[in-house]
Structure 1
């Protein structure tokens, strides 16, 4: 067994400790004399250079280092300068390749030491440089992705001050990144939404959830572009929120398509109501026709003549009101700013359009609305289309007659409108698909499958929800929930 070395009693203990210390250093260390000969090297240098100690110690630098390195780094001149001035040289870069191994990158320093020698300290930074270049490559790639995106992509600090603003944001807003950098994001939002945006940034400071909303982006000329926004908190390495990433998509084309779909669905609904509408207009016209025939007679009293005139006037007013309601429903609903709407008025006006259709199909309408106005924020025409689609679906589900019930339920923050029918119900396999575009259980040619899909889209646009409950043979109940003002 090899005896343990007593460092305290060994005469060479300092040399041994010195050698062990040098070999433990993860950098290459060389001692060089004034003749530029290598006096000592540590194990790290011998391993990295793939040289033995005998072929290195006592040899001039020119034999150990390749000529191209000596010329490019001018290291011999620098060592002589350190000997002459006694001043260290720090932080110089050297690229070194030993035979048969990949290129290595070093940062070297030259330090004077009291033994009339200099220490050449070489730190291998190959991996750090490689990782740094990889990080820069990833950063350039991410920057390219953001700049190439057709959506608005921007970042802010935790207070909402804009840090970055991509090309799509510049194109849509007409504002350059330089113009908006450092400005609060809410300054470029619709005035009605600025408080909401501030609240979103406050929530992201302490939360991890993303937030979605829709509101106009104010452009350089003061116009508003409707944009769908997603706000996501940006975290650092310690999980702390350091800012936000905001992505916005221009909804102009999407809204245009949605309006076209809504309009086509309205025309389809008018086709369904055609029979009831014709009957509803025929009644007042028949009264007008009869009264006009009486007026052509000579032997009628003044009182009866006046009565006939009033009947004609009332019939024309009723037909005119029916036609006006139809025109209002059929008229395209452009995207307008949401305003205060009385939901009860929307429901009753919609029922006026389908009442006669229900009567023709022997369906009784049971209305259970609150006696006071129910105020929500919305677009009246779009909400009317929602209820029209649901009412017509309920009527179609009761071909042999039944009861259509419309009831309201008020909670602290929302109103729920329950529309129930006593029809055939919905199969369980169809319940999860009834709001899908083009899904229909109607015979070919009798349904587009867009009605409830459009309802779902409109209700979501109004920050509400729509749900269905049904069992085959027991009717169905659709519930529309909207936030109260």
Structure 2
């Protein structure tokens, strides 16, 4: 009888040992950070996933306060977490921000469970932290795309209305109105194709100079007699055509909605200068009335222009409104805009 009891106990011990070895292997092999701490917020265990996420080795973290990982402005979160652990509550998918060893902040999703002793008393907590940087970035990109879609749809209606109003002022008959409108919409489609190049097309944009690109973009919006163009006949690199066309197209549609193209006597002046490996393009709209665009506020279109210039043309955007009108100065990296391949 005694031998049977001893054999049974030995089998249970071996099973428990296998279970705990398996559990330890799961913790050690997890890509997520798995950390345990006591109710005084002192770190008791630290797996390789935690080292990968936060940058501290186990010997650097164990025995230290969990506040090592919490930005100062979020210290109150730990007090709330410990309070819930003491009540035996579990916290799932709590999205917050934690701090790495090098000081950088990382968005994480936390799942925290109370740890109990044999008497059922809560003695600590087990925390799983998952890096959600990619998910946050994807969510931000999705929101940006939705904002751009709303802007584009709204822009289409506003531009169509503006073009019709502008064309109606120029036409002397119904037949001429129809002809001018059709011509403008065909030109608009051509400008739109240049500004938003289809990535599935096998052929790249045809080679263009800066002057040619500007003329293609502004053609559907206004009679060239109202445009004063003094820009360098600069050959553009293929990579610069789409972002630069997108910027010019956005400026032109804004001019139809709010600026020089929205009134019969508005004037557009576009000029360029180059020096010290920089290309400066100045877009100036001269209006008789006060420009409705305000100095401080930036709409979605302006933010989009700034983002394109900074990310794709290594440039800066200056926006100015004064008594003479509205001005946009594009300060661009000449090497990223120009094609010098034919210059030896």
TM-score w.r.t. the length of structure 1 is 0.36
| Rg comparison, structure with higher value | 1
Say which structure is richer in helix.
Answer: 2
TM-score w.r.t. the length of structure 2 is 0.50
User: Greater relative contact order (Cα 8 A, min sep 6): structure 1 or 2?
Assistant: 2
